[in-house]
A and B are shown apart, each in its own frame.
Chain A
Amino acid sequence: MRILIKEGFIISPADNLEAKKDILIEEGKFLSIEEKIEDNKADKVILAKGKIVLPGLIDLHVHLREPGREDKETIFTGTLSSAKGGFTKILAMPNTEPPIDSSQNVRWLREIIKKDAWVDVLISSCITLKREGRELVNLEELKKEGVVAITDDGSSVNDHQLLLQALKEAKRLGLLVILHCEDKQLSDKGLVNLGIISTRLGLRGIPTEAEYKRIERDIKLAQEADTSVHITHVSCKESVEIIAKAKKKGVRVTCDTAPHYFALSEDELLDFDANKKINPPLRTKEDVLAIKEAIEGGIIDCIASDHAPHTEHEKEIEFENACFGTIGLETSLAVAIKELIEPKIISWQKLVELFYVKPAKILNLDKETFKANKTATLIVLNPNKEWTVKKEDFLSRSKNSAFLGKTLKGRVEYTIYKGKIIYAECSDSSVPKDQHPDTSGIPKVCFEK
């Protein structure tokens, strides 16, 4: 397939590119990127005047739930959801059922990915067997199977020595270590941020200490192992301060936050909406501000969705019994545009850093994109389109978004993955409706696979 994209404004800091150009794609690769390309052989011409063209985005924190909880999400629906959100490379979290802690389970997962995935799915494994914090997985073997990162996401490894051993082993093997920092003795049976909201609602609170004390410990361990670590879903002011200090001292620590931590505060919980029950919990307005400043100041390296799908019957129940988490792949970018670009907290280049350059760097991947002969993976974005988040519009199998009813800004119009249009807003009727056999019933997308 030959695709010509006309007059899109390309923003790609890794290519030192910020200009209006035409793009010609064939056989999965960029043929040329020029001021003006005339081509009458193209199968598809995308008129991208007024649109922004970005590299396909990367999300370091996604729960795809398969294997085991296909009622919440599958590799198929989760990666379709990614495509719609503009993400063409995602890192799958290993807390599936069974968890990804053995070569056999990695091979199993890889088979499903090969068969069903619309975008690149990178595999992470647990740090400890069954995420129980007792015994390390066989990192060497898992690395050979293609695992790129290790994490006990959802839990933190309590045993200092065990984590230290894991860090040293990961360093030797060149594996990324992603840490969910939570001292469960401190978060206890907490449900929302500890403070005025937990007091008002009569719900058990989770103190910020549960997060930042564990971050403090993990940074110390990283120093001791003389290695790098990545801290995921940073949610509060104290954590940001600790990470800033560590970075200043030269500790090799990177971190991400999720869109809900800079867009929503704990005040959103006053109606007991369990879609906003998330771990770590939504924090105070002051914390939201601190997260925004940390993004602006580069303390926070990237944005990851922590896409956490749950069925309606696990959410629309008593608040204390509802599962933690919100889906995020389809709203992540638009939340960032609305909360960070629109109020001019960050520039578009910075946005691409947060969603592409830094995650690529953390994963040790090639960051250049828009060059002839490179694989053509990109998104075409309407930066001004405002839209309201509705249950029925999600391609994710689950609808548990903390942003339901909110108006966001910026909409992916095309996602091109390895030279193929894998997602297009249906307003474009010229896109070939070459439907994937399993997509019947999925609305408002056109497919080519």
Chain B
Amino acid sequence: MNNKINWARKDLLAISELSKEEIELILEIASSFKEVSTREIKKVPALRGKTVVNLFYEPSTRTRVSFEIAAKRLSADVINIIADSSSVRKGESLVDTGKNLEALKIDIIVLRHNSSGAAHLLARNVGVSVINAGDGWHEHPTQALLDIFTLKEKFGYIEGLNVTIVGDILHSRVARSNIWGLTKLGAKVCVCAPKELLPLDIEKLNVRAITDIEEALKDADCVNVLRMQLERDEKKVFPSVLEYFKAYGITSERLNKLKKNILIMHPGPLNRGVEISSEVADSQNAVILEQVTNGIAVRMAVLFLVSQGRQLYAHSH
């Protein structure tokens, strides 16, 4: 493993804050950790004696389990806290919860929260490491990192790749983190959604914004299909899931027209028949389960790096 690790952050809050080199470092370390999960004994002692708390204010099975497995494969002790975000206002504040955890001498908090900026709030109020596992509509850094890791594995490079992200971009933290990560590494990103679900001025993040799905798929090397949550669609752009599926669903009919192979990614959980057809989700081109596997390696890398970064931080504070 790389002995000269150039990582000085105690936290991982947003891909927007990372340099290209920092992203590459995470990917590099993730690829050396990937092998651990293929061993007979799936454990290395990198975080032995450290305690990781998964503090989740939003329901999530996939991300929480992935972080838990990643931490355990690094030999850390893991505590899971499922907090009820509806009682946040009357109950203990996020900052107080964080300070209490710190007083319990834990080392890393993995935070999932329904409010944009929650990870920043927590990180500036505690000395322990904070990893953002998704905050509101803002960012979901490890999801983007595992998506990029998977792309790099499949194509061997990122620079110049055409990646299309389809779905509710407005409310998607996965889209935001992917846009930052991919553009920093030189990929060409296109986002595709009906106008109402495209955030204003998104083009300023160096992406193409397109409402026509056929157009958005035309040049794509990969399409990242976002989960469609109709309950977020306040403007009622789509009266039903079927309407969305007809307009933006990724189907083999749409893909076959392109006469080429496109890599299919999805952050999960899948809504079959809403944003993606079963046929596509289960096809040769889909790498959805590989993404899940790669998630462990990427999260191991992030847990490891912030733990290193915190030692530097502790020295300087």
Contact = CB atoms under 8 A, between A and B. Distances in A.
Note whether A and B form a binding pair.
yes
A316 B94 CA distance: 9
A194 B136 CA distance: 17
Interface in A304-341: 313, 316-321
Interface stretch (B182-190, B197-205, B240-248, B308-316): B197-205
Interface residues of A, dominant DSSP = helix
A195 interface: yes
A203 interface: yes
A202 B125 contact: no
B120 A272 contact: yes
A220 B7 CA distance: 59
The winner among B113, B117, B138, B176 for most chain A CB atoms within 10 A is B117
A199 B201 contact: yes
B205 A203 contact: no
Interface in A238-288: 271-272, 274
A317 B117 contact: no
B18 to A, nearest CB: 14
Interface residues of B, dominant DSSP = mixed
Contacts of A321: 88-89, 115
Contacts of A272: 116-117, 120-121
B103 to A, nearest CB: 18
Contacts of A199: 199-202, 204-205
Contacts of B88: 318, 321
Given A271-B120, A319-B115, A319-B117, A202 B138 contact: yes
A198 interface: yes
Contacts of B173: 202
B296 to A, nearest CB: 26
A47 B201 CA distance: 55
B193 to A, nearest CB: 13
Contacts of B89: 321
Interface in A49-68: none
Contacts of A271: 120, 124
B126 interface: no
B136 A202 contact: yes
Interface string B262-281: 00000000000000000000
B205 A318 contact: no
A202 B137 contact: yes
Contacts of A320: 115-117, 136
A200 interface: yes
B5 to A, nearest CB: 25
Contacts of A198: 199-200
B55 to A, nearest CB: 14
Given A317-B93, A318-B88, A202 B116 contact: yes
B80 interface: no
Contacts of B138: 201-203
A203 B139 CA distance: 11
Given A199-B201, A200-B205, A202-B139, A317 B116 contact: no
Nearest to B203: A196
A8 interface: no
A121 B131 CA distance: 49
A205 interface: yes
B16 interface: yes
Interface string A178-213: 000000000000000011101111110100000000
Interface string B9-52: 00000001000000000000000000000000000000000000
The winner among A194, A198, A319, A321 for most chain B CB atoms within 10 A is A319
B174 to A, nearest CB: 11
B100 to A, nearest CB: 15
Interface of B: 16, 88-89, 93-95, 113, 115-118, 120-121, 124-125, 135-139, 171, 173, 176, 199-202, 204-205
Given A196-B205, A198-B200, A203-B116, 18 more contacts: A194-B200, A195-B200, A195-B201, A196-B201, A196-B204, A199-B200, A199-B201, A199-B202, A199-B205, A201-B117, A202-B137, A203-B117, A271-B120, A272-B117, A318-B88, A318-B117, A320-B136, A321-B89
21 contacts: A196-B201, A198-B199, A199-B201, A200-B205, A201-B138, A202-B135, A202-B136, A202-B137, A202-B138, A203-B117, A272-B120, A316-B95, A318-B113, A318-B117, A319-B117, A319-B121, A320-B115, A320-B116, A320-B136, A321-B88, A321-B115
